[in-house]
Structure 1
Amino acid sequence: MQLPNKHLSKLDCDILYHLGFDTVKHDLPAMFGDIKFVCMGGTKYRMKDVAAHISQLLNIPCDFNNMVKQAKRYVMYKVGPVLCVNHGIGIPSMTVVLEEVLKMLFYAKAKDPIFFRLGTSGGMGIPAGSVVISSWAMNGTLEKIYDLPILGKTKTFPAIFDQRLNQELYSIACHEDYNTYVGGTMTANDFYRGEGRTDGAFCDYTESDKMDFLQTLVGLGVKNLEMEATAFSAITKEAGLRAAELCITFLDRLLGDQVTPDGQTLSQWQKRPAIIVGKYIEAYYNTKK
């Protein structure tokens, strides 16, 4: 695993502030050198559930001790070769922890870990409760890029996911008793107006405007809307790593804006991406073992 930032080699000590680690006080190779998979998702509760699921699948005990509790921002659980980390909502929160996890694994000398983002989303013309495996991500101006202002100028990065990894995941998912789709994902910088909702605190467009926009997305091959995919795909690709995003859909946005299923249903649906990824990891782990 390599990172393209040459400035890192000049640091006597790199402080991973938002994780509470540094390269002097912590033996990162001993702690994380065996990591082969990183599972990321929004909430700390979901990632604890993912860690519990992986622990059961691989028959590896997990003490559920939050390894980054000293930083008081995120949670991180280690289950053998699998790291489960939450990242909050939206690109800014996600990229902070993603970049520090990348640096952490770089210093740990981890061997080409595979990254998964397990998210929630709004579906586009597909049934609620479906899983979407993202083949590419599109920003709010309908470009398949992650655009980031750097030193006063906007730089763009391609937002394309690993197609072979997607095919491997889909070959697992197609045997499950729920719908799974491979397709495009739109990433918004805002949950309400950014995703074309009419139920936010502000709205300066009509219902007809909204539906025209959503139908445009469907025509472009978009299967769901969320708030992280462009950055997740671009950053993992820049690091030279394989990555995939699997999101459960809580609603069909062509039918409405609000999430209406009850909490128990949503909780069951959220397990579906973890089931697919878990089977992928289990197959790898059993082969190596």
Structure 2
Amino acid sequence: MVPGGPAEKKAEEKHASNEGSINIKNPHFDKMKEDVLYHFGLGTGTHNFPTMFGDVKFVCIGGDTSRMKTFISYIAGQLGIAGPGNEFPNICASTDRYVMYKAGPVLSVSHGIGMPSASIMLHELIKLLHHARCSNVSLIRLGTSGGLGLEPGSVVITKQAVDATFKPQLQQMILGKPVIRSTVLDKELAEQLMECGKELNQFNTVTGNTMCTLDFYEGQARLDGAICLFTQEEKLKYLTAAHEAGVKNIEMESSIVAVMCNQTGIRGAVVCVTLLNRLQGDQINLSREALAELELRPQILVGHFIKKHLSKK
């Protein structure tokens, strides 16, 4: 199958009639006798995926390992789920790449920093969900970001991830050729999350575009990196143009989340708290306590969404 070609588009149309399933777009996949998820320390030959993960309906991912451990304890408390010995063991304890925790229908997984790390995790996570025969899964990234024109502590629900030219697309090099894929996220899921923000009314919650970059410093127009060959005026001109194009925040993973979810039929969302207004500065000067409080905001919003959704069952 040529990436981005007619065969790939035909596969997308075929999947549209199989709503809710995990669509693995790989003709070689079913030929494997065993699938080793190396970076998770799991495999189909050593673990019973349907038994371990078959009831998963919500997958929440985030960069930091400790944040995802905090989240699983938080959501377990919200849902009244007790872990063995009041603890939730790290399912990926045999490797130091990522962490994974489970509480009932909720899976909490770290993805590291940036799209390359997140991409590796998402490939193996989506295969895991497929092997477990999961369906109707919602995947939500809980993150931090730099805001544009927003007060610090605002929570942004991404409509679409955009690249550095403000286009809703991600260009990937596959077999030495550029492949462009859409980075528009699930509209209905974004609207449901926004409604939860209004119901909570605890902090400023908005929807908008999220700019996804390959770098924290030059790629995000920061003046405080080891290398910077542009002026303050050029920086502000660029960030102002991004803001005028509908960009509410900047981070480093939303595009690959959108692409992977779109390609495999998973409802995807990105919910990030802003740690500063990038139109006013570059450095994050929050205390550890203040940072911890802000990082909880996406968890509170998504926890409310999950609890509300499950209460309807």
Tell me how far 1:146 sits from its aligned partner: 1.3
In the other structure, the counterpart of 2:153 is: 129
2:261 aligns with: 236
Instruction: Give the drift of 1:64.
Output: 2.0
Within a 5 Å distance, the mapping from 1:17-96 to structure 2 comes to 17-62=38-83, 63-96=87-120
Q: Per-residue CA shift, 1:197-228, capped at 9, x if unaligned?
A: 00000000000000000000011000000001
CA distance in 2, matches of 1:46, 1:219: 32
Which residues in structure 2 correspond to 1:4-15 (within 5 Å)? 4-15=25-36
Residue 6 of structure 1 deviates from its aligned partner by 1.7
Q: TM (normalized to structure 1)?
A: 0.98
Contact 1:140/1:189, CA 8 A, preserved across alignment:
no
Which string of whole-angstrom CA distances, capped at 9 and with x for unpartnered residues, describes residues 4-42 of structure 1?
212110000111110111111111010001000000001
Alignment-mate amino acid for residue 140 of structure 2? F
Which amino acid letter does the alignment assign opposite residue 258 of structure 2?
A: S
Letter of the 1:283 counterpart? K
Report Cα offsets for 1:163-210 as digits up to 9, x if no partner. Answer: 111111111102322101100000010000000000000000000000
Q: Distance in 1 between matches of 2:205 and 2:226?
A: 33
- Using the alignment, how far apart are the partners of 2:162 and 2:310 within structure 1? 33
Question: Partner letter of residue 157 of structure 2?
Answer: I
- Cα drift, residue 286 of structure 1: 2.4
Distance 2:302 2:123 in 1: 22
**Per-residue deviation, 1:285:** 2.0
Q: Corresponding residue for 1:105?
A: 129
**Residue 276 of structure 2: aligned partner:** 251
2:80 partner amino acid? N
What amino acid is aligned across from residue 151 of structure 1 in structure 2?
A: L
Determine the structure 1 residue equivalent to 2:191: 167
Query: Match of 1:40, SS?
Result: strand
* Bigger Cα displacement from structure 2, 76-85 vs 277-286: 277-286
- Identical pairs, percent: 40
Aligned to 1:286: 311
RMSD: 0.9
Runs (4+) of structure 1 moved beyond 3 Å?
A: none
Counterpart in the other structure of 2:165: 141
Return the alpha-carbon distance in structure 2 between the equivalents of residues 51 and 167 of structure 1. Answer: 24
Equivalent-residue separation in structure 2 for 1:260 and 1:131 (angstroms): 18
Distance 2:88 2:48 in 1: 20
Equivalent pairs counted in the alignment come to: 288
Offset at 1:287?
A: 2.5
1:262 CA drift (Å): 1.4
TM-score by length of 2: 0.90
Q: Secondary structure at the match of 1:270?
A: helix
